[in-house]
C-alpha cells in the first residue's frame, strides 16, 4: 500500500498566541505537537512547514534597536533563516516529546530551506506580506514618517496595522531532494519555515534577497516538488467561508478550484489573510489530477485527514 505523503502548513496561531516570550511559544508548540502526533501513523509521511511573521518582525525590531558598529543589524533574509532555526528547534523538541508519549519511535529534523525567487518579481515593487506586531493606525503612520518612508505599514484584515514587506512567488526549493529523501526514510521533516529563505541564483552565485515568502505558497511549491498526495493548510478557522462576518456567512465544505476562482473574483477573501491560503490550495489541487488540499483548524487536523472536516479543495 502506497504511503500518504502530506505537507502540513501551520499558521502563526500554532506558535504564538499573544505572548511573544520564548516560554509561551514553546508551550504553544507543545499543544500543536500533540495534534500533529495524532496525524502520524505507519501509513503517513509528514512534512511540516510553518509561518514566522510575528517572530521575524520582532527579530527585525531587536536588530534595529541593537544596531551598532560592534553589533550590526542583520538583513531580513538572514533573520528569516534565524527564525527558521529557532522555531524548528522548538518544534522538533515538542514533536519528539509528543511521539515518545505515544510510544512512537520517530524523530523530527529541521532543514534550513532556501527558496528561489525571481529578482524581477512584481512583489518587490508592491510589498504585501505582514510581519511583526500589530499597531494602531496612528502608531503605524508615525513609524512610517519616522523612517522617511523606508518601511511600509498596511491595515491587516481588520485586526490592526502591520509592517509589510515584499512577498515574491517561490520558483523552486533548493533542498527539496534532501527533504524528500529524509521523509521517505521515515523521518518527520520541518522545512520551508517562514516560507523559506528567499534567494536569487545564477550560474555563479546564490544571493539572499530581502523579502518574506508566503508560507502557504512555499508549502504548495514544496508539496508539488516532493509529489505529495495532500496539502493541509492549518489556520485559525475550521472552514473557509464566503460573506465572512456577515449575516449571510456560509462555510465551504467541499469546493472545486473553479468555484474558488469565482469567489476570488467576488473579493470574498482578505488579501493578507485567507486569500493566499485559497490560492495555494487551488494551485496544488490543479498541479496534478487527484491532488487534494484541505484548509481547516489545527484542532480538526486529524478529522481533516479522514475527510471529515475542513474545506476540501479538488479540481473539478
Q: What's the length of the chain?
A: 316
How many whole angstroms separate alpha carbon 212 and alpha carbon 194?
7
Residue 126, classified by CB atoms within 10 Å of its CB into exposed (0-12), middle (13-18) or buried (19+), is: exposed
Q: Are 236 and 310 in contact (CB under 8 A)?
A: no
Residue 80 CB coordination number (10 Å): 31
Residues involved in catalysis: 12-13, 129, 215, 277
Instruction: For 302, list phi and psi in degrees, rounded to 5.
Output: -65, -45
Q: Would the CA dihedral through 270, 276, 277, 283 be positive or negative?
A: positive
Residue 120 CB coordination number (10 Å): 9
Q: Does residue 123 come out as left (phi exceeding 0), alpha (psi in the -120 to 50 range) or beta?
A: alpha
Question: What is the per-residue burial (b if ≥16 Cβ within 10 Å, else e) of 179-202?
Answer: bbebbeeebbbbbbbbbbbbbbee
Q: Are 181 and 189 in contact (CB under 8 A)?
A: no
Closest C-alpha to 107, from 32, 181, 190: 190
Closest C-alpha to 195, from 115, 311, 76: 115
Instruction: For 289, list phi and psi in degrees, rounded to 5.
Output: -60, 130
Amino acid at each position: 500500500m502506497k504511503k500518504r505523503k502530506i505537507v502540513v502548513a501551520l499558521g502563526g496561531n500554532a506558535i504564538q498566541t499573544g505572548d511573544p516570550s520564548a516560554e509561551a511559544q514553546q508551550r504553544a508548540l507543545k499543544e500543536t505537537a500533540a495534534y500533529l502526533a495524532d496525524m502520524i501513523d505507519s501509513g503517513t509521511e509528514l512534512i511540516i512547514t510553518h509561518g514566522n511573521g510575528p517572530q521575524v518582525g520582532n527579530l527585525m525590531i531587536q536588530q534595529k534597536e541593537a544596531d551598532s558598529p560592534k553589533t550590526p543589524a542583520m538583513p531580513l533574509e538572514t533573520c528569516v533563516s534565524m527564525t527558521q532555526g529557532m522555531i524548528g528547534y522548538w518544534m522538533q523538541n515538542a514533536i519528539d516529546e509528543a511521539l515518545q508519549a505515544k510510544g512512537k519511535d520517530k524523530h523530527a529534523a529541521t532543514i534550513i530551506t532556501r527558496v528561489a525567487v525571481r529578482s524581477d518579481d512584481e512583489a518587490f515593487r508592491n510589498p504585501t506580506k505582514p510581519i511583526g506586531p500589530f499597531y494602531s493606525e496612528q502608531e503605524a503612520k508615525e513609524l512610517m514618517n519616522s523612517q522617511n518612508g523606508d518601511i511600509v505599514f498596511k491595515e491587516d484584515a481588520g485586526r490592526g496595522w502591520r509592517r509589510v514587506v515584499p512577498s515574491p512567488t517561490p520558483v523552486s526549493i533548493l533542498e527539496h531532494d534532501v527533504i524528500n529523501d529524509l521523509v521517505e526514510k521515515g523521518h518527520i521533516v520541518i522545512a520551508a519555515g517562514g516560507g523559506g529563505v528567499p534567494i536569487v541564483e545564477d550560474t555563479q552565485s546564490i544571493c539572499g534577497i530581502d523579502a518574506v515568502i508566503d508560507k502557504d505558497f512555499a508549502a504548495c511549491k514544496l508539496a508539488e516538488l516532493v509529489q505529495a498526495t495532500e496539502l493541509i493548510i492549518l489556520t485559525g478557522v475550521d472552514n473557509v467561508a464566503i460573506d465572512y462576518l456577515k449575516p449571510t456567512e456560509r462555510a465551504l465544505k467541499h469546493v472545486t478550484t473553479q468555484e474558488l476562482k469565482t469567489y476570488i473574483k467576488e473579493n470574498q477573501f482578505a488579501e493578507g489573510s485567507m486569500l493566499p491560503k485559497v490560492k495555494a490550495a487551488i494551485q496544488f489541487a490543479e498541479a496534478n489530477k487527484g491532488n487534494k488540499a484541505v484548509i481547516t483548524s489545527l484542532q480538526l487536523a486529524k478529522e481533516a485527514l479522514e475527510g471529515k472536516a475542513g474545506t476540501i479543495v479538488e479540481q473539478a
